[in-house]
Structure 1
Amino acid sequence: MIDIISTAVCDLRKLQAMSDKEQSLMPLVPEQAAILGKCASAFYHAVKEKFNCMAILQNVDEAVSFGSNTSGVWHAEKRYSLKLSRTVEVSVWKDDLTCHQVEAVVNAANEKLKHGGGLAQALCDAGGPMIQKWSDDIIKQQNKVPTGTAVLTFAGKLPCKYIIHAVGPKVSQNPSLKEVEYAAPLLYNTVNTILNLVVHQNITSVAIPALSSGLFNFPRDRCADIIVNAIKQFHELRGFQGKNLEIHLVNNDEPSVREMSRATRAILDPTSTSGSYSWAVKSQNQTMTSSSSNSSQMCSLQFKNIMLYLKKGSIEEEKVDVIVNTIAQDCDLSQGLISGAILMKAGRKIQDEIYKKKKTFSKAHVYETEGYNLDCTTVLHTVCAHRTDPKARQILHKLILDCLKKASALEYKSISFPAIGTGNLGYDKKEVAKIMTNAVAEFGDQYTKKKLDVYFVVFPTDSKTMEAFENEMKGRKRETPEVHHDVTSFASTSKKNTASETPTLEIQSASSEALREAKSWTINILNASDNMTIQNNHVMYLDQRDHENLLSLQKKFNVCIKEFFRNGKGGITITGNHSHVSCAATEVESMLCKAQEDFARAEECDKLYSVVRWSCKDVPWIQTPEISAILEKAYLAGLENRVFNNHRFNLKSLTVIDNTGRVGSMKRTCLLAPFKSLNNSYYARIPVSGAKYFDKDIKVVEDFGHRIVKVEKLENIVLKQLFEMNMQRLKHKPKRLYQRVSAQFCDLICRVGFQKEFAPPAEQKCGSGIYFSSTVDGAIKLWDEQEHEQYIYIIQAQVLTGNSANGSPELILPPPLGKDPLDRYDSVNDSKQTYVIFSGQQALPEYLFICAKSSAV
């Protein structure tokens, strides 16, 4: 049996190793490109949440024009959105502000409110002369509107109720770094004033452009960062007061839209794969920037799950998880331009900490400290050899790798490097560019975790170093071979375009099985008929806002959307024109994924809170399931600090510092039994092999014409503790049972355990609970075939069935044992072939068997 399994695994992996890279690039015909162009954000999100894959669209803007409206009418384009809370949503739009549908629009005004140019004039022309008259009345009363403030007027003929006239800072045509830094707080104040006006006027939706970046010359990238950071801090200080609000970041020029999209993803949702990659693709499809380019544009390269960006900037101003510093052997940060700038921004405490680290690790080449006043969590200080050292180049290469490995181990999402060695150490700039890029490429080949953004940051005036890195990255792009292949379902009707013109979709994943599932799902969604059914029991968790969005999708795509829930299975059906159905289905899948993740996150918080709690008498608000879970996950990940609500939590010293500098102590209490991190988390999926992991029942898979391609051990510290507690309560030995699940729920079951929403059987003959089969063949028969999935997923579990009674369809709890309604059976069954439990804590997932269907091998 083991030899058969080993051969199956070996043969399939060899086949996949040869084909996965080719299969990841999929040419799109114009109609398919148009579909993805209309719902790109939803598509990225669904692919990530369902399969943990990254999707990249290339040349889709050109393809969309084939299917787009050519009447000349401007159409609003929503590029990205996320919720800061259940009541506040931030989104990025490409649209004309004069016709954008919100309650209030923001005008980029001057201190005298003379709307004679740019956006101000466009709004006045569209809204009518009353806008200027109302503005003049304000100036008569208060002489001017100072920079950093804003005033409110009605909107005239505009399709909104109010205009907020906001006065941002003005800088010279080519502003110096010092001038920009002086103006930055004024722009922050402007945005803060806008948000205060919105809240106090009970405005429910507001459109904000890239203030000061037009006629006022403020750098576009810094403008985007400041606006988004201001929104984030306003939210963290609870300025929105729980009110419902949509914040639209709206511009009609592509560079501003791109920068707003980048900043929103990087600052508000740094873990978002889909967001970062949709922006990165646009960067990749453009010509590489020259050393004289605007700093808002970035060169980029991709190495599997690593995105490498080259940008102009000051390393001490980076807003990332990790900043890398280069220091002298004696660890004196005042030596050198880079370390000196970091010392000045971070404050003296960073120097004190590194001296302490030097005493403990006197021969270290990388020292880790807190970020202190820097906009990062951690600083990695590297000690690099002078170029005259015979091993200097090997040392530099290893330093880059070590920093990347540290960032990976702590599950950080972003890291910024300066051009190490190009200053006092005397390295050749071209050589540094090559060594650093090679190190990232080498690490990228081995890196299998979630996306990591890597930035090479070159000081704005150092044009020679920028040119060296640009040339190295250009060379890398030219060396990357173009992939030509035929995917029947896509290429049969496509035009014969060149590789640089053909719209394509690339899907990437560390798992070949997940890659194939994502591709199969994509083909199914793009080739939709006039009627599509999406089955997902999380439809019951859609809230009022979601149902409003469904109504909006009906109108937007001219389709009919209906929800259903019958016989324990729920979902949504969509009917209409097939391309419109595809668009709506993609948006619905994303919506259901969001509901699914919200449900899983709540379960995760509750389960963590059941076994471990964080407390602090000085900060009582951390003693909630949500905040306690955030701290616990950061603690298990090995993070030293976590900052939110203006408090810095040190997870190693167990202290908390508020914004006044007052220090308090925290406590981590394990309620059941002490436990430590499991691969920087509380759960993990670990590939396994060998006889001890297989049961004779698995042979049944072969009898059904399928083959096992992978076995994973599912570990979860929290679920194990809760299961063992229930085992003591029930005083019965667990049974080894099986459940067949869909691909998108494998990771969720490992993370939060079994839920009835994850795997409803074809028929609920025994009641509304969590179903298991006593055999593998029973599991294959009990659950419907997932037509579009490439593999069969079976989870082996230990299940506490305890005292079990015969089941019946109407049961929502086990039947009572006797007259006492509180004294019930532990489970129900169907002739002891199928068992149903009604609490997820009675089951512990142990192994996941991934089996290839006979048609997939």
Structure 2
Amino acid sequence: MSACPVTEKIFKVCVLRKLQAMSDKEHNLVPLLTEQAAILEKFGSAFCHAVSVKFKCTAVLHNVKEAGSLGINTSGAWRPEKRYSTKLSSGVEVSVWKDDLTRHNVAAVVNAANENLNHGGGLAQALSNAGGPIIQQWSDQYMQKVKRVKTGDAVLGPAGKLPCKHIIHAVGPKLSQNPSRKDIDYAAPLLFNAINSILQIVLKENIVSVAIPALSSGLFNFPRDLCADIIVKAINQFHLHNAFQDKNLDIHLVNNDEPSVQEMERATRMILGPPSTSGSYSGAVKVRNQSMTSSSSSDLQFGNVTLYLKKGLIQEERADVIVNTIALNRDLSKGEVSKAILKKAGKMIQDEISKMGNSISFSGGDLYITNGYGLGCRSVFHIAMTYMCNQTLYNSVSECLSRATMGYKSISLPAIGTGNLGFRKQDVAQIMMDAVAVFSKQCMDKLDVYFVVFPKDKEMMEAFENEMKRKKGAAKYPEIHNNMTSFTSPAKETIANETPTVEFYSVSNEALREAKVWTFNMLKPSKAKTIKNNHILHFGQEDHEYLLSLQTMLNVHIEEFFKNGNGGITITGNTSDVSCAAIEVENMLCKAQEDFLRAEERDILYSVVRWSCEDVPWIQTPEISAILEKAYLEGKEKRVFSNHKVNLESMTVIDNTGGMSILKRTCLLTRFESINNSYYARTPVSREDHFDKDIKVLESFGHRIVKMEKLENIPLKQLFKMNMQRVKDKPKRLYQRVSAQFCDLICRLGFQKEFAPPAEQRCGSGIYFSTMDEVLKLWNEQEHEQYIYIIQAQVLTGNSTDGSPNLIMPPPLGKDPLDRYDSVNHRKQTYVIFNSQQALPEYLFICAK
């Protein structure tokens, strides 16, 4: 069931040749073949999410859409084209698309049906054929009950094999080929009613996104321009009458013929106004050889993003958005730029940001959005960095750019971090411009970006100018090196020459390497892939149903398995389809892992600390208590829940009437505070004498330790100490081998039997540990991982006896079934516990094979 050896060999040679052309420092950039780019065009978001969860890396796709459109068709890869988008004040987004409705990605699609629900022609036939026989079968059964669906009505049915959850059959008016004005005037209200019926179903069923075609304009002969006007007016009337009621809803107006798409775009612009983000979306896919052109020495074109460099004062800027950097306590009088913005805007801006509850969190910081007040802008984006590094600076700029596309046309940024934050000016210029370049590859809207440099700061202006010249290719400049391996020249060259690539960002070289190898194996041509991960046990009914639909959509066979404590999924089929399905399955498993993490983290924190408020009883629920504890440890000052504002600094809760109550934090075991703004930490350590024996054992197997980390977790340590009082014997120093994906999870949650089951569970279904001599024998080699990960733990084995495969808990000591052994073992070399709180992770060894 594997790929042809010759094909696989050619694949490896192509990739290795490209890799060998790079220096060691450039290996965070992975070139893609055309078919690989086409795969990631379809499942790029799933791929990036999986990389983030599995390896704590950020993956950025370069030039994937362009490559995918030119390359091999991966069983029907397509490209939806977004032409217009606006966000109504109710929160509903209305957009115009050119796409095939049978493949459009929404929760529900609308079918242009007739009164008999007989799907024999036009769009109805296309949807019925794509969805399978269940669509017509359901319609026939429904017609036996109602006899007829009146013109202007709509009904909700199953979507079958379509890539959506629902299909809404709407009956629009039918006209003759050359209708009279009287006929059209009579039919128009019926079409209006049909759109109303669709929207009522969407709201009643809490459908989050719906695709509506130009109903009645095809086989039913309704004039296309008037059809577009009526559909948009019906949506607008819902909006004006507050029928949407702040619903989280996306309405897509979708057609695959150019005349209908143009009429929809015309009608939306005329009735709903210009798009929330300027320009037509269609230009976003036509910039293959224009991404690095510029119109003057002080501006630079990155696809839909135009970058301008100018001297000036940020507080005097007239743009939709101005960016500000602030202190963690949100005091705008701290820092020269922030102080200038506060003075110009007035004290109302300080009042607004001080009263804010939740922020927009991103990796390394928080973003607060306020009004502009006395400034010449609509909004101010305030960045508070929780820790200072090049990656955080990059993330800050990227987050601001992403948020700027949500209703704004222009954004002005100062030279972030060159003041009190202490970043080098050359690094700032390089990182900020790299962030714009990378962001532009995913930006579908036109956006003007201004880098505003203080007039007297000649060094900063020169650094930006040099970086701009480097981007334009006007001159060769020496490479600016810094600690971030991802900000190097290959990324710039890739963007310029438009080679399809994946670029990885991480502070860990080991994580980067694992992410690249995993990517290689996901995209390697193979007719069968097996993904081993016990988080399949946490799949719900919807997950299993989605696997069935994925099987149909991609024409692959998906089989779940669980044997000897090891579960996973095997996928077989066409090579490119198998890769697509494997990436999506990995993404599903990562989502299940995140859900498991949140639930376990909540329970662990609730075991050692409780938050409470006498007047607000719901605060002491496990979920809210855990949220407050994490916010408290992270140094956050405020949180907002429904109509209550929680102030963690003054330990008070204020309701919407202004009533104040006292908030309490009660540590159930021993009072504790944060470790590096969290309850857990991973800290690199040097080789120490007391590890010599263990290191020599590993070296005797031919392995070399490349990194050691100390693992700390306050709640786990407290629970472990509590269990030490129950299990009288001293803890043993034992080891567990894990995959790269679970190192951070174990540090956060402790040991779980799902994370590291051995190849054979001869002692029962529990959590396995062994001596260092046995650790490499008990767990099988992780086939596609570049390193060996071994965690040292203190384990309370207590009163132990021989294990057996059928055990799910320790056997009883005697006749009393409640009096049981603390653990089981095999030859005093392998130990199994059945309570995760009997083990405490202490150190992580990362070894080169």
Shift of 1:761: 0.2
Distance 2:668 2:817 in 1: 30
Residue 589 of structure 2 aligns with which residue?
592
Displacement after TM superposition at 1:555 (Å)? 1.6
Mapped pair 1:773 → 2:823? no
Q: Is 1:818 aligned with 2:814? A: yes
* 8 A contact 1:735–1:800 mirrored in 2: yes
Verify: 1:653 aligned to 2:650, yes or no.
Answer: yes
| Contact persistence 2:768–2:830 (CA under 8 A) | yes
1:792 is displaced (CA, Å) by 0.4
Counterpart position of 2:269: 214
Deviations 1:511-538 (A, max 9, x none): 0111111111111111141111100011
Residue 537 of structure 2 is aligned to residue 577 of structure 1: no
SS of structure 1 residue aligned to 2:530? strand
Instruction: Describe the shift of the 1:564–1:614 C-alpha distance in structure 2 as closer, same or farther (beyond 3 A).
Output: same
2:504 aligned counterpart, secondary structure: strand
Give CA deviations for 1:139-182 in whole Å, capped at 9, x if unaligned.
899xxxxxxx99999995699xx999565999xxxxxxxxxxxx
2:471 to 477, 482, 487: 477
Q: Is the 8 A contact 2:793 2:841 kept in 1?
A: yes
Q: Which moved more, 1:470-479 or 1:654-663?
A: 470-479
User: Does structure 1 retain, via aligned residues, the 8 Å contact 2:173–2:191?
Assistant: no
1:529 aligns with 2:533: no
**1:313 Cα deviation (Å)?**
2.2
Partner of 1:502: 499
Greater shift in the superposed pair: 459-468 or 588-597: 459-468
- Tell me which amino acid in the other structure corresponds to 1:834: T
Does residue 740 of structure 1 match 2:737? yes
Task: State the identity %.
Answer: 51
Number of the residue aligned with 1:136: 189
Map 1:324-335; keep pairs closer than 5 Å. Answer: none
Q: Does the aligned pair in 1 maintain the 2:39–2:580 contact within 8 Å?
A: yes
Question: 1:65 aligns to what SS in structure 2?
Answer: helix
* SS in structure 2 at match of 1:214: helix
Mapped partners of 2:335, 2:508: distance in 1: 42
1:755 matched residue in structure 2: 752
Which residue number in structure 2 is paired with residue 793 of structure 1? 789
CA distance in 2, matches of 1:461, 1:500: 23
Q: How many angstroms apart in 1 are the aligned matches of 2:651 and 2:607?
A: 20
The match for 2:345 is: 341
Residue 544 of structure 2 corresponds to residue 547 of structure 1: yes
Q: Report the CA distance shift for 1:288/1:126 in structure 2 as closer, same or farther (over 3 A).
A: farther
Match of 1:731 in 2: 728
Take 2:96 and 2:506, find their aligned partners in 1: how far apart are those partners?
Answer: 29
8 Å contact from structure 2 (residues 306, 448) kept in 1: no
- With structure 2 as the length reference, what TM-score do the two structures score? 0.64
Verify: 1:702 aligned to 2:699, yes or no: yes
- 1:311, distance to aligned residue in structure 2 (A): 11
**Structure 1 unaligned blocks of 5 or more:** 1-15, 79-88, 108-112, 114-122, 142-148, 171-185, 200-204, 225-250, 259-280, 302-309, 351-368, 382-399, 419-428, 484-495
Q: Distance in 2 between matches of 1:472 and 1:311?
A: 26
- Indicate how the Cα distance of structure 1 residues 127 and 28 shifts in structure 2: closer, same or farther if over 3 A, else same: farther
Q: Kindly state the Cα deviation for residue 691 of structure 1 after the two structures are TM-superposed.
A: 2.2
In the superposition, the TM-score normalised over structure 1's length comes to: 0.64
- How far the C-alpha of 1:63 sits from its partner, in A, is 1.2
Instruction: Give the counterpart letter for 1:193 in structure 2.
Output: A
1:696 and 1:464 mapped to 2: Cα distance?
Answer: 58
Pairwise CA distance, 1:621: 2.2
Length, aligned pairs only? 658
SS in 1 for 2:811: coil
From the superposition, tell whether residues 470 and 595 of structure 1 become closer, same or farther in structure 2 (CA, over 3 Å). same
> Are 1:837 and 2:833 matched, yes or no?
yes
Contact 1:700 1:777 in 2 (8 A): yes
Q: For residue 193 of structure 1, what is the aligned residue in structure 2?
A: 243
Check whether the contact 2:74–2:577 (CA below 8 A) recurs between aligned residues.
Answer: no
For 2:321, the equivalent position in structure 1 comes to: 314
* Superposition RMSD in Å: 5.8
Task: Tell me the distance in 1 between the aligned counterparts of 2:512 and 2:187.
Answer: 58
Q: CA separation of 1:563/1:315 partners in 2, compared to 1, >3 Å: closer, same or farther?
A: same
Q: 1:219-230 to 2 correspondence within 5 Å?
A: 220-221=275-276
Match of 2:636 among 624, 635, 639: 639
CA shift, 1:697, in A, is 2.6
Q: Which amino acid aligns with 1:578?
A: T
The answer to whether structure 1 residue 719 and structure 2 residue 726 are counterparts is no
How far apart in 2 are the matches of 1:675 and 1:140?
62
- How far, CA to CA, are the matches of 1:754 and 1:190 in structure 2? 54
* 311 and 20 in structure 1: CA distance in 2 versus 1, 3 angstrom threshold: farther
Give secondary structure in 1 for the equivalent of 2:497.
coil
Deviation at 1:314, TM superposition (A): 3.4
C-alpha distance 525-660 of structure 1, shift in aligned 2 (>3 A): same
Contact 2:597 2:745 in 1 (8 A): yes
Shift of 1:789: 0.5
Contact 2:59 2:505 in 1 (8 A): yes
Q: What residue number does 1:665 align with?
A: 662
Q: Do the aligned partners of 2:732 and 2:796 also contact (CA within 8 Å) in 1?
A: yes
Contact 1:198/1:206 (8 A) holds in 2: no
CA shift, 1:417, in A, is 9.4
1:96 aligns with 2:92: no
How far is the alpha carbon of 1:622 from its aligned partner? 2.4
Separation in 2, partners of 1:294, 1:105: 39
Show the counterpart of 1:66: 70
* Closer/same/farther in 2, CA of residues 150 and 566 from structure 1, 3 Å limit: closer
Q: Which residue of 2 aligns with 1:687?
A: 684
In structure 1, distance between residues paired with 2:288 and 2:612: 45
Alpha carbons of structure 1 residues 402 and 603: separation in structure 2 relative to 1, 3 Å = closer
Identify if the C-alpha distance between structure 1 residues 461 and 794 changes in structure 2 by more than 3 Å, giving closer, same or farther: closer
Shift of residue 430 of structure 1? 12
Aligned residues of 2:38 and 2:74 also touching (Cα < 8 A): no
Gaps in structure 2 of 5+ consecutive residues: 1-19, 83-91, 113-151, 153-167, 176-183, 195-201, 205-209, 219-226, 255-263, 309-316, 371-380, 402-411, 441-446, 456-460, 481-492
Deviation, 1:567, is: 1.0
Which AA in structure 2 matches 1:36?
A: L
CA separation of 1:498 and 1:24: change in aligned 2, threshold 3 A: closer
Classify the secondary structure of the residue corresponding to 2:269: coil
1:24: which partner in 2?
28
Partner of 1:804: 800
SS of the aligned residue for 1:39 comes to: helix
Residue equivalent to 1:33: 37
Cα distance 1:406–1:741, how it changes in 2: closer, same or farther (>3 A)? closer
CA distance, structure 2, for counterparts of residue 286 and residue 323 of structure 1: 38
Residue 614 in structure 1 maps to residue 611 in structure 2: yes
Structure 2 CA distance for partners of 1:639 and 1:760, relative to 1, 3 Å: same
- Structure 2 equivalent of residue 85 of structure 1: none
Distance 1:606 1:282 in 2: 51
Please name the residue that 1:45 is paired with: 49
| Structure-2 separation of matches of 1:813 and 1:445 | 57
* Distance in 1, Cα, partners of 2:499 & 2:169: 42
CA pair 627-779 structure 1, distance change in 2 beyond 3 A: same
1:475 is displaced (CA, Å) by: 3.8
CA contact (8 A) 1:714 1:848 kept: yes
The verdict on how the C-alpha distance between 1:196 and 1:735 changes in structure 2, with shifts beyond 3 A counting, is: same
